[in-house]
Amino acid sequence: MISGAYIISEETKEELTKFKKATNSVSTTNAIIYSIDKDTLEIKRDQPRVFKSLKAVAKKLGNVPRYIVVAYPLTLSSGLKPVRYVFLYYNPPCKAEINVPYADAKESMHKVSGTGRILDIQSPEGLKDVPILLGGNEREDWKKKDGDKDKDEDKDEDEDEDEEEDDSEWDDLE
């Protein structure tokens, strides 16, 4: 599929379909980051993993736009536990020649992702507000507790190792 000059490959479409099927009843956040290859103009995965928290996603975001597809489980005040699918357009302040391609392809990528909403995020800190924007009760708290500094740092490193994608769980979904 071509949107303007941007390519969303069949592989990316299939990957997004598998992601949605594999995450329809998760109890933890799952997210995939996409970028536009500046040479081929193909929209493809930026990182070869599925992230398990918005905090882990925030750590990987830099000063260039990205698309992030998120499966976010919520617990509503009614007690229901739906998984919300959201398309995050990460758009930090940057040069127009970097931003324009992402702005141009945003709607096409959103449509292909099969998510319900688009949220524009301008900074990694903005990811903390995603739960509220999706109808949750409070924003994510990423602050470390005093005395837990070393423990949290070790946990983050372990989470990064655990976040490596295992495509084998998606193979059965076809």
Per-residue pLDDT of 8-53, as tens digits, reads 999 999 999 999 999 988 889 999 999 999 889 999 999 889 999 9
Q: Which tens digits make up the pLDDT trace of 61-98? A: 989 999 999 999 987 778 888 898 999 999 999 888 88
Q: Which tens digits make up the pLDDT trace of 101-110? A: 999 999 999 9
> 122 Cβ partners below 8 Å, 6+ apart?
90, 91, 92, 93
Q: Give the mean model confidence (pLDDT) for residues 112-120.
A: 93
- The structure's pTM equals 0.78
pLDDT score for 126? 92
Who has greater pLDDT, 150 or 124? Answer: 124
Question: What gap in Å lies between CA 143 and CA 106, rounded to an integer?
Answer: 31
pLDDT score for 141? 61
DSSP string, the chain: -EETTEE--HHHHHHHHHHHHHTTT-SS-EEEEEEE-TTT-BEEESSSB-BSSHHHHHHH--SS-EEEEEEEE---TTS--PEEEEEEEE--S--HHHHHHHHHHHHHHHHHHT-SEEEEESSGGGGGGHHHHTT-SS----PPPTT-HHHHHHHHHHHHHHTB--THHHHTT-
Q: Which tens digits make up the pLDDT trace of 149-171? A: 433 333 444 444 444 444 433 33
Q: Rg of the chain over CA atoms, in angstroms?
A: 16
Angle subtended at Cα 33 by Cα 45 and Cα 161, rounded to the nearest 5 degrees: 95
142 pLDDT band, cuts 50/70/90, is low
